[in-house]
Structure 1
Amino acid sequence: MDVVWSGDWVAERLGVALEGDGDLPELLGLALRRNPKRAHLLVSNVLGKHVPQKPSVVYGAGYGLGERVRALLGEDRARRAVVLGYAETATGLGHAVADGLRDAPYLHSTRRPVAGVAQAGGFEEAHSHATSHLLLPEEPELLAGDGTGSDASVLVLVDDEFSTGNTVLNTIRALHGSHPRERYVIVALVDMRSA
């Protein structure tokens, strides 16, 4: 029998609830954490990070998102896409999205500086336990984009869930300030933002 983390105990004690379509409980549950900014944690049931999951489900979730992005962009633009996954939870998800785009270059943020590696950018995730993200790509030109127009690259930002959208907005502000590009695509397994 598959394990699905519902978070009912947390929901009852905090007076919060997950509301959405019938698939939501299969994708997500609630947990508690020691963080004064946000006591609840949205726990993915498909990523295999906090709740055990079959590798085929974990990979399939990301690969399927990548295929949807590929269809959205069209073949020509998909070939010029660069994928960025967010540390820590969406690093594997982002890699699978890149595979679904048919082997797009893949980068991920990190929370730890690396001696001798130049920082190509950074941004904040205000509600997190560790707020700062660093971008330390081996090939910094992947983040640079290549201008505007039909041949410009697209940056695909991948997270496990959107609760406020602020992390993505902070990322775009930071990158767009130094390397403007015409198009960003944001992708997540779950979008919990209100209207």
Structure 2
Amino acid sequence: MNARSETPPLRLTQQLPTGLLEVELHEGAHELDELLGFAARANAKRGFLFVSKVLGKHWPVRPGRMLAIHERLASTVPGAPGPVLFIAMAETAVGLGQGVFEAWLRAHPGQEALFLQTTRYRVGTGPIIEFEEAHSHAPRQFLHMPAGAHEQALLKSARTIVLVDDEASTGNTFLNLTEACRRLNPQLERVHLAVLANFMGAAATAALSERFTLPATMGALIAGAYRFTPADCPVDAAPAQRYEEYAERGASTAFGRLGLARALRTPESLARALAADVKAGEKVLVLGTGEFMHPSTLLGAALEKLGLHVVVQSTTRSPILTWGAVTHAVGLPDNYGEGIPNFVYNVAPGQYAHVLVCHETPPNAALLGFARTLDARLFHYHTEDDVEEVPVR
């Protein structure tokens, strides 16, 4: 009987403007170019970025491709006791987490689950869990107590927690959040991490259960480890968060911050009306704003089903250098009113015939600035079924 041969790991070395990144991939190397690129961040805490090509944040992606990725990650969640609590990590993975939650619901009809997103904005006056994502450009995050009685009951009775992010590197943020949730709900029995890329390394991944003191599993499309050696170069030290506890930022309570136990509905009539304005062969960009991502993906998917050439992505507050997987960077004003620089990456002027900006915040000067800079139309989501086009001119 022949011994089973193992595929050797793929080793990559990337010299970034901010330092040397060394990557070793054990799983998913055959999909690397389709799933991941590399970029340099203007961040003293972490000078590199794994740019996901299927996240819809820094890189344009077809909506159908994103939804397929959601289904793949949802399928990694092991059969586990319910209710199941899904938590998406802000800012980057809010849309990913909501998509994974909805894909899991479709695959498990009749089973109870709750979706929550972490957020960098305080909404309402209810209780919150506060924690930090230490390496982030904007580290302070919150998890709000659900508003509805049913959603609160699901949170407090959940037995499995699924934490969704684009990447796992140390696992510290996942651990901090899980411990906070266990203080609220001691009945939690197991943890699953669903990420696009797991760079914790094999030993740390194998030790998850011991570290969490709960049965813990990992689902990832790419797995490996990395080492980064910073270069001696200046970085942008501009703040990415100006927190005022009770400041009104226009962040909505309708899309996941206060809990959802169902999938969002797609504005089909809006998609049909928008499609009527698009000529054959014209390219369409549907752009989410900050933490407001999944509704724009659903709109993009509806347009794609109507035969349009559509990609989706989102603005971000993460400062990234124009290098590697980031070929264009456009600075935008902050529509949440903190005065934090926002950006959209890999969007060149004139690249799209139609740019549709989806936002949760009320119309303001920043959004009008978005529209002028990107030659875009603005769509204010009051709820998933009530979407208002904001006059730009």
Q: Distance in 1 between matches of 2:184 and 2:56?
A: 35
Cα RMSD over matched residues?
A: 2.2
Q: Distance in 1 between matches of 2:69 and 2:56?
A: 11
Q: Distance in 2 between matches of 1:37 and 1:119?
A: 30
Q: For residues 65-116 of structure 1, what are the alpha-carbon distances to aligned partners after superposition, in whole Å with 9 as ceiling and x for unaligned?
A: 11331xx115xx3x521211001111111111111211532110001112x3
Q: Which residue of 2 aligns with 1:111?
A: 120
Give the one of 68, 88, 92 matched to 1:60: 68
CA contact (8 A) 1:33 1:41 kept: yes
Identity of aligned residues (%): 39
Structure (1 or 2) with the greater strand fraction: 2
Q: Distance in 2 between matches of 1:18 and 1:179?
A: 38
Give the one of 110, 129, 136 matched to 1:128: 136
Give the one of 157, 160, 163 matched to 1:154: 160
Q: Distance in 2 between matches of 1:83 and 1:35?
A: 29
Q: For residues 26-65 of structure 1, what are the alpha-carbon distances to aligned partners after superposition, in whole Å with 9 as ceiling and x for unaligned?
A: 2222212221111111211111110111001112111221
CA contact (8 A) 1:32 1:39 kept: yes
SS at match of 2:127: coil
Deviation of 1:143 (Å): 6.7
Q: Distance in 2 between matches of 1:42 and 1:161?
A: 8
Aligned AA (2:190): R
- Structure 1 runs of 4+ with >4 Å offset: none
Q: Distance in 2 between matches of 1:117 and 1:42?
A: 36
CA contact (8 A) 1:27 1:45 kept: yes
Q: Which residue of 2 aligns with 1:145?
A: 156
- Structure with the greater alpha carbon radius of gyration: 2
SS at match of 1:101: helix
Deviation of 1:165 (Å): 1.0
Aligned AA (2:116): L
CA contact (8 A) 1:161 1:189 kept: yes
Structure (1 or 2) with the greater helix fraction: 1
**TM-score (norm. length: structure 2):** 0.42
Q: Which residue of 2 aligns with 1:183?
A: 190
SS at match of 1:87: coil
SS at match of 1:128: coil
SS at match of 1:174: helix
Aligned AA (1:122): E
Q: Distance in 2 between matches of 1:84 and 1:30?
A: 26
Q: Which residue of 1 aligns with 2:102?
A: 99
Work out the number of aligned pairs and report it.
176
CA contact (8 A) 1:27 1:190 kept: no
Q: Which residue of 2 aligns with 1:5?
A: none
Deviation of 1:24 (Å): 2.8
SS at match of 1:17: strand
* CA distance 1:39–1:143, change in 2 (3 Å): farther
Q: Distance in 2 between matches of 1:93 and 1:85?
A: 7
Unaligned runs of 5+ in 1: 1-7, 147-151
Q: Which residue of 2 aligns with 1:18?
A: 23
SS at match of 1:133: strand
Q: For residues 100-152 of structure 1, what are the alpha-carbon distances to aligned partners after superposition, in whole Å with 9 as ceiling and x for unaligned?
A: 211532110001112x3323312210000111110123346257432xxxxx5
Aligned AA (1:159): D
Deviation of 1:172 (Å): 1.1
**TM-score (norm. length: structure 1):** 0.80
Aligned AA (1:60): A
Q: Which residue of 2 aligns with 1:47?
A: 55
Aligned AA (1:190): A
Q: Distance in 2 between matches of 1:134 and 1:189?
A: 22
Give the one of 144, 151, 173 matched to 2:179: 173
Q: Distance in 2 between matches of 1:24 and 1:142?
A: 41
